[in-house]
Amino acid sequence: MRHTLPIAPQFYVTAPQPCPYLEGRMERKLFTALQGEGAEQLNDSLSLQGFRRSQNVLYRPSCSDCAACLSARIDIARFAPSRTQKRTLRRNAAITRRTASPWATEEQYDLFRRYLDSRHSDGGMADMDVFEFAAMIEETPIRSRVIEYSDPDSGDLLAVSLTDVLGDGLSMVYSFYAPDRPQNSLGTYMILDHINIALEAGLPYVYLGYWVPGSPKMGYKARFSGLEVYRDSVWQPMTDASQHRAAMHPLSTDPIAEQVANLRLPDRLAGKP
């Protein structure tokens, strides 16, 4: 009888390229493929260690002399909306929410293009065509959902979030919204609504991706109470955003081999019985 042992994930490192968040710095990522029967277990395990999903890849920043990027999540038990966030919830109370399987539509892509052209015209996604957009939405080996938010009167699509369902929370993989509705604070509203969805589902966390001190693009994440960041291999409450610095130092990041050796993998993927 032939037995096939599980193959442990293989990890790779990207070539350095200009950082999209901090001017004058170079970024590098540690990544692995997300595939096979153990995909959900691997995604859950590495998400707990600061990794993020992009299609069928899991990645984590691993820059040679910078450790500014910190994975961030909201501990729902410690979250309390601010006055401004309460106003945002009231202002958008009539918006309708629809949850669907990860399937791309032309309406989503049109909104995506408007969002990029207005907010991130010089970003890495600026040239993404409709086929690449469809791949971003649809190529997922785990339990993912597309959550759409629409105007209750016109039915127009206002915002979209590609969201993964993890073992311990919701991960907002990518979200975009109508750029001509600044009064609605749609980006903030989607996070607040995900907190409510997670609460209803009994999930303790909402994962927001990376928070980068010193980057204006990421400043909004620090406005949510109950925020935790993954630093020094543990999740820890962020009590004061100003205490975090985006300083550069050649010893900021452990060697790649040491990082991989210290990763905690599901037993069946680590070759353990």
User: 96-100 and 70-75 as β-strands: parallel, antiparallel, unpaired?
Assistant: unpaired
Q: Of the candidates 174, 175, 163, which has an alpha carbon nearest to the alpha carbon of residue 203?
A: 163
Q: Of the candidates 163, 231, 241, which has an alpha carbon nearest to the alpha carbon of residue 195?
A: 163
130-170 tens-digit pLDDT: 999 999 999 999 999 999 999 999 999 999 999 999 999 99
- In terms of average pLDDT, the best of 2-16, 57-71, 187-201, 235-249 is 187-201
pLDDT band at 269 (very low <50, low <70, confident <90, very high): low
Q: Tell me: pLDDT of 121 over 70.
A: no
DSSP string, 158-189: EEEEEEEE-SSEEEEEEEEE-TT-GGG-HHHH
| Amino acid 268: pLDDT | 63
Mean residue pLDDT across the chain: 90
DSSP code at position 42: H
Query: What CATH number does the domain located at 72-243 have?
Result: 3.40.630.30
| Amino acid 128: pLDDT | 86
- Output 77 or 252, whichever has higher pLDDT: 77
Dist CA 176 CA 218 (whole Å):
14
| Amino acid 7: pLDDT | 66
Q: Output b/e per residue, 224-254; b: 16+ Cβ within 10 A.
A: bebbbbbeeeebeebeeeeebebeeeeeebe
| Amino acid 124: pLDDT | 66
Tell me the torsion sign for CA atoms 201, 205, 206, 209: negative
pLDDT band at 4 (very low <50, low <70, confident <90, very high): very low
Phi, psi of 36 (to 5 degrees): 85, -175
List the end-to-end C-alpha distance of the chain, in Å, as a whole number.
18
Kind and range of the H or E run holding 39: helix 39-47
The answer to whether the beta carbons of residues 253 and 67 sit under 8 Å apart is yes
Q: Tell me: pLDDT of 105 over 80.
A: yes
Which of 110-114, 151-155, 163-167, 213-217 shows the lowest mean pLDDT across its residues?
A: 213-217
The answer to whether the beta carbons of residues 235 and 50 sit under 8 Å apart is no
| Amino acid 94: pLDDT | 97
| Amino acid 1: pLDDT | 35
15-42 tens-digit pLDDT: 999 988 888 899 999 999 998 889 999 9
3-state secondary structure of 72: strand
| Amino acid 20: pLDDT | 85
| Amino acid 215: pLDDT | 82
| Amino acid 91: pLDDT | 97
Tokens standing for residue 154: 């016109």
The answer to whether the beta carbons of residues 179 and 115 sit under 8 Å apart is yes
| Amino acid 175: pLDDT | 96
228-257 tens-digit pLDDT: 999 889 999 988 777 777 777 766 788 888
Dist CA 177 CA 185 (whole Å):
9
| Amino acid 210: pLDDT | 94
| Amino acid 2: pLDDT | 40
Q: Of the candidates 50, 175, 194, which has an alpha carbon nearest to the alpha carbon of residue 120?
A: 175
- Output 6 or 89, whichever has higher pLDDT: 89
Domain-wise residue ranges, the chain: 11-69+247-261, 72-243
Neighbours of 15 (CB within 10 A): 7
Tokens standing for residue 114: 């408007």
